[in-house]
Structure formats: structure tokens, C-alpha cells
A and B are shown apart, each in its own frame.
Chain A
């Protein structure tokens, strides 16, 4: 027995050691990752971020160098904080706060301590940086905007947050990542690949030389330059016209789906979100809850389409064969329907309307009739609604359009099922949901959907998914944007509707907006809108909406304009749409009267009404507000 003691202890110790080794090296050991090895210093070289050009090859976005002071908390040695803080232009309290923040993120991984130094600060600091162990300067490239327009399209880049890092291991703390607009949509193309140098360190944190003679080092791959479909002159003009208004303009080239202008108003100078003032500026923009400058109104504002929707109602009815070009409806200042003789009002002036005058005079009664017939063609309202809904949706409404900017709204086009859920107890019928006929009721769209719908009409029945990208480093764009989407409406039905839209300008609701030499087809729209004040549903001045395309034959531009609380469609949106079309097609403005009117009128008073705590008047009872000449001049200069 005695001889077994040592024998068993030896075996036991061996077993314990093997278990411990297994625990250390297999069980608790993560797969080896050079990036997590703190014996290796990683020096990153950030590549040039891709430039952005507009459709006419005008440079919009370039780069400028920027210097971040980075920190690796556990390598920091006691230092002269007073001197260091004065060099960095921060207070000692900031220093402690920043240190704590970095240490909480990770004591051994680098994180930015003071981002985006000015060139001058960098020059002073770089000489003294050696003294401060644990700190170093990382060169990065920031955006340098060559323009003051298009902030909503161009977007911005920002330091990565914890979420970005855990989503994609490419990013480290302090890296810059696209957060809005094309910067995020084309992040992977624009950013390139950063290069990294691995340097072997010793335990005193001294560099010993390249790790494995640099065989794992990579050189940075520059980001790709991209060309976007925006016409910067048109965009700039749009932004100018939209000053002192809230809303959006979306202009599309019908034959390609390229977005020519995507204006969101009010906007901001993209250079505001670059440099050390970035975060305070961002907060300022973020906190402007009246104008919401960071919200892209052209993509995100859902509203009732109003009368422009009537064209689709007409097309659906023609396709279903429930009306013809010659069908007439007599308008008695409205449309009376139902058992209780309910009436839908109309402002067209009354009389006998056919398709052409129905559209050009925007007669509610005509479209109520056409819509009702389309639904009632089928015995079952649910079925009729489904068929109608299908026609409408084929114009890209009621769902995400699939464009290449990563924000959007679905809008709403109800189908049979939708109303079955609403009215589970009793049968509903076409007249129950008659408001849809005139683009109200449950219909919701975004300006870009309106523009796309207009493009589809301009194309006589098809559209390409709207997109902002023209080419990436000269490469052809995604096939998705070169695929034709056919609507469910036969091509021959478009001509009469387009004639109607043409007459809107000729003799209809927009006749005073005529542009000499251009055949414009358009449609005014007005959308009622409400807000909640002290929990009271309160009506505000209607939104002014306008859609148009031109020229009538072989159209070059389709446009949708939304001016919030601008009252009737022709007043603000119509003027702006006409001016935009003239600007794009002619390059110069002949209707300077329209331009002056737009620049002279502000809607700020409308926007402050809900916040004024006083009763206010709306629509026709609300006065227009003019701004002084000097203000107008200032605006023009500002951009």
C-alpha cells in the first residue's frame, strides 16, 4: 500500500495539471485574434473616403485631414494634466470625465479622447505628444463639403458607436461611419479598406519592430468615388425656393428613375456636421422640433395626396372599363350619395364634366363617380376594392419604393381586407370609403411616391425604381434600378388623362403657372391636416401639393412638391414645381414674377401657430406673410 502513495499523487497531479491546461488553453481561451493581442500594437491607416460627384460631374464631397487624440487608458502614466489640458483646450473636469469614459469602454483598446483637432492645435500638440504615455494622435479623413446644399441627400459620417462595432467587426471605437444619406447607403463603397500595421511590443510598451516582418500588414484600399443622380443646380434652386417653408421636392427623370433633386426644407449646411462643433450643431438641429431639419421631408412625410391622386382613380376606372373618355357626370357643386343623401362637396364650379374637364377642373363629383363605379363593378365590395387597390399599388404606392436611401415610409393604399377589419360587423361599400376617390380618406403617400407616380404617368405606364446612384467608380449601377416596372394600366388609357393634366395648365387650376415654351402637365392638390393641441384635434392650414411632368411628349422631368400648410396646391407648390421645371429644362427663369413671389413669402407664421397658445385662423382666413426685400436678398446670398 505504501508504495502507492507517491504513485497516486503523481497521477493525480498530472491529471490536475492537464485539467488546468485544458481550462486555460481550450475552455476559457478565445480563438487567437491578432487584433485582441495586446502584445501587438495596431497602427491603422485610414484610406481616402470616396468622393461624391453630381450628375454633371461637379464635385460635391471631398475630404480633409483630421487629427484625433486617442487614448489607451491602461498605458497612461502620471502626467502634467494642467499642461495637457491646456494643449487640448479642455478643462481638468473634462479630462477626468473623458478618461473615465474611455476606461469604461476598454482599458486596453484605443478610444478617441479628443476628436477632430484643428490643424493648428495638431501642430502644437504633435511635438509634445511623446511626453504623454498612453496617448497618441490618429490621423483620419473627414468630409469636406464643396457645397452648402443637399445635406439630406449627402448625409454625414459620425464616430461609430457600440452598436456599429458589435454589428461589424471592421469598425473600431473612433472610426467614422456613414450615418445618413448616401454616406450610409454606400458606406461599403465609400469607406474603402483601412490598412493596418502590426508592431510587436515588449512589456514596457516599447516597439520592437514589425510583427512577422510585416507580412500581415495591409495597405489601405481607397474608397470608391460615386456619382449621384442629383443635379446640383436644380437641387440648389429647389432649396432656395423652399426657404422659409417646410416641405419637400422630389424630381425624377421618368425615363431612368434617376432622382434629379431631393429637397427637404428647411435644410442645413452639411459643413455644420464636420469638425469639433459637430456635436453641438447636431444637438441644435436635433432639438429643432418645429422644423425637424434632420428629417428628410421628401422621403418621410406621409400625407394625403389630395387631387393628384385623381389621375390614378381615372386610370383605374378606364382600365376597368367603367368610364370612357366621353363619360360625363353632372356636378351639382358636389356629389350626393347614400341613403341619407350625404354630399361630398366640390369647388369646380358645377356643370357637366367629362374626363378632361374633370381633371383640369379637379371635379370631386366626377371622380367620386368613377371610383364608385370601379368598386361597384364587382358584386363584392371587398373584391372590387382589391382590384382597385392593385391598380393603384402598381404605381409604387402603398409600399416601400425600394430606392437606395435607407429611410422611407410605406404610405397606405387600403385593400378589401383593410376595410373588412375596420367594419367587421356590417357590410361596407364603395360609398362608405368614398373619400379615397379624391385622394383623402385612408390614402397616404410620401412626396417621392407622388413623384414616382407622376413619372409612371409621364411614361404612359411604367417606371424605374427611383434611385440616387448613377455610378460607382464608373461601374454600372445595380440591375434593380434598370428594371422596368409596368403598371396594370393599358398604355392607351394614359393619353386622355395626360391631356387632362395638360389642360390643368392650359385652362384649369394652374393656368396662371404656365411657362412659355414648355408643355407642362400637372395637378394641384390640397391636403387637410391636423395636429393635437392640448389633446384637441385641431385643423391647420392645408398642405399645398403639386405634381407635374414636362414636356408633355418625351418627358424629361417628373416632380412632386409638398409645402406644408401652404394652403391650396397652386399657391406655393404649383409655383415651385413650375419654376423647377423651367430651371431644369431651360436653365434660366423667365417667370421671374413667380420666383419673386415665392422668395417673398414665408410660412413661418403658419408653423408657429400651433405653438402660440392662442386661437388662430387657417386656410383662406389666414393672411399671407411677406418678408422684406433685404431679407430676400440675404437668403439668396446665404446659399
Chain B
């Protein structure tokens, strides 16, 4: 077998190569800087990530989909689109991390963030089950450490521990499924070749369906969909807040990237056997997430349950098993990444000053920090699915895809759930805008925003508005990514 380099091989993994380089630079600069100046590593990481984003957009845009590196990685529009989302999310997260008292001045925290982003990028373009497993673990292991990063904090260590146990268990079950898939297919590990085998009937549908269920355990954990959601509230609650934001957005979207590629490329022929199951899982995730979120008094747990519900909404697009469905899921994830990153960023900014994540401590926020309250209004109304914000358009597309696939019952469930969602998002906003602090002296307790928070929240709020109003180009990008999948 001859092996030769082509330029597309390098271009296919250019973002990953640059991420690794940036990680090494961060480590070296970390050694050179004095302790009190290490906070600036956040600027370095965010700036480096934005540079990677721009460089990749300029030179590494894929034209024709192509399998490279021995079929391990597929150089296509879908992988590229997700990579850009992850790199953007990581840049925003590193800005949020700067002022965190346990993470901000620790170079290794930024390195772990970059390593995990690298894994996610590979997840987005992995087209081989070996690569897929390796990429999932490359994403997860740094996140386990980041979740338990505050070793002096009981809640954080517990979050890291729980995340590791659930993550290791579910990924092992998935791996067992992958090993069976490798055997049943007679030694084929490429997802696209497995898809052809399934289509030609060389693989018994029942066996494949069984294997798909095992694999679904691992991916279901990553996207925190019912019934693999129970880790999410605990882990989001205990982790450092910027990391919770990263877990609930980029990590979830990476899970969806794999879910889309695996189920729509390898198993579309047996979609009858899994689409109903996924629809039921989406229904239960939405219902449970929204109902339990109503009872929460801690805002991080509220956002965790809401993120379970949002995994359900995004799943609707996949259940439709169509091009519009895939497009709508990708669009939903984009809007969701912007919105939820903003939400967790605001929580991080508030708890940095007040030291509390309780919803009642958000009373009078609109007087303590009007800018923060405005960003919160944008983020929460977008989560609730109100026009003119991104969350509204995303929900419309997902429901449209389900209608097109004749899944009227799923749309009804989704719409009813959105209404429940509006209730608890507005409850939080009621504390922010209508309630006041106990002795009504908000002027004496301002919440100052550092430059990094201000920049990140401004970018995210503008992003939410852009996706919600000028949605045509974004929908075009998502559509191009969805077509590139097949």
C-alpha cells in the first residue's frame, strides 16, 4: 500500500493542528508568566482561537467531501461547520474562565479546554469507528478533569467524579457496541462503508439495530438526552460555571455531530427501528427537563434541566430523517450554543460577585447591572423561543422538519413543552426585573463587569439577535453542512 501526502490531508486537520500548537504555546507562556499575570492566558487562548477560526475559514474550507487519513477523517462541510462552532464556543469559554478564581490563573485549565476542543473537532469529522471512539475520549477526559478542577471544593470534586463514572460507563457500553459492529461487518470500520453494507443487506438489520442501541447509550450520555440525562444537573451544578457552559453547549453539539453522522450515514436503512425510539426519548427529555426545571431554585440546575429539554428539541430534527431535519438540527445547535453560552456566562459573572447561584439572589439585578440584565433578557427569551431571537427561528425550523415528516404528535408535544419552558424562564426574569433586593439598596451593590465578560456577552448577544433576524445566511450554512453529510 502506497502512502502519499496530499494538501487536503493537511487542510482536513488544519484546525486540529493549530489547536495543538496553541495548546503548546499556552503551556510555554504559562511557565514564563508570573502568577498574578497568568490571567492574561485567557486573552491569549481566546485570541489564538479566533485566529484559528479566521485562518481555517480563509484557507481550510472544504469543497468536495473526501475521505482522508486512511478513511479516519472525512473532510467535508459538516465537519468543518461544527469545528468552527466548537472553536468559537471555546474562545467564549476561555474569556469567561479568565475571572474565575480557580481557573483563571491556571495555564493547564486553558490547555485542557483546548485539548477537549481538539477532541470535539475530531468528533465532528470522524468517519471511522476507531477514530470516533478516540475522539470521544479525547473530548471527555479533559472535561472530567475540568469538571473536578477545584480540588478544594467538595461540589466540584463530586461533579468531576460523577461525570467520570457515568462517562466511562456509557462510553464503555458504546465501545462494546462498536466492537460488535467491527465483527459483524467483517472487519470494516469505516462508517460510510458500514452504511453501504447495511444498505446492501449484508448486515442483518436486527443485529445492526441492537448494536445501534448500545452505541446510543454512549452518544445519549454526551448529548444528555433522556434516559441518560441524570448526570447533567449534578455535573453542571458542581463544575466551575464557565465549564458547565462549555459542557452544555460544545460537548452536547459534538455528541449531536456524531449522532447525525452515524445514524444518518451508517444506519439510515433501518431508520424505522430507531426513529420512533429517538422520538420517544426526545419527548421524555423535553417533558422531564421542562417539568423538573420549574421546581429548581438554583439557576445552574435550572439551566441543566433546560439543556436536557433542548437536547430533546434538537433531536426532533434527527427523528425527521430528512435533509430539512438535519439542517434544522444543525441550525438549532448553532442557536443553542450562542444562547446557552451567554446564559452560563451571565451566571458566572453574577456568582463571581455575589458568590451565589440561587435564583432569589438575582432579585434587583436590573438595577445592580442593567447591561447584565439586558444580556440575560436576550439569552433567556431566546431559550424560551421568543422572536426575534435565535431560539425562536431554530424551534420553527425543527418543528417544520417534523411536520414535513408527518410527525404531528411530536410537534404538538414540542409546542406544549415550549409553553412550559416560557413559564420558568420568565420566572427568572421576574426576579431580575421586577423584584428588588431586601433593603432596596441596589445602588450600593453594583455588579461590575470585567472587560472579558463584557466582550464575550456582547458578542454572544449580537450573535443571538443576528441568528434570529438575519437567519437566511445561517440557515444556508447549516443546509450546506447537512448536504455535505451524505
Partners in one complex: no
- Using a CB–CB cutoff of 8 Å, the interface residues on chain B facing chain A are none
- Using a CB–CB cutoff of 8 Å, the interface residues on chain A facing chain B are none
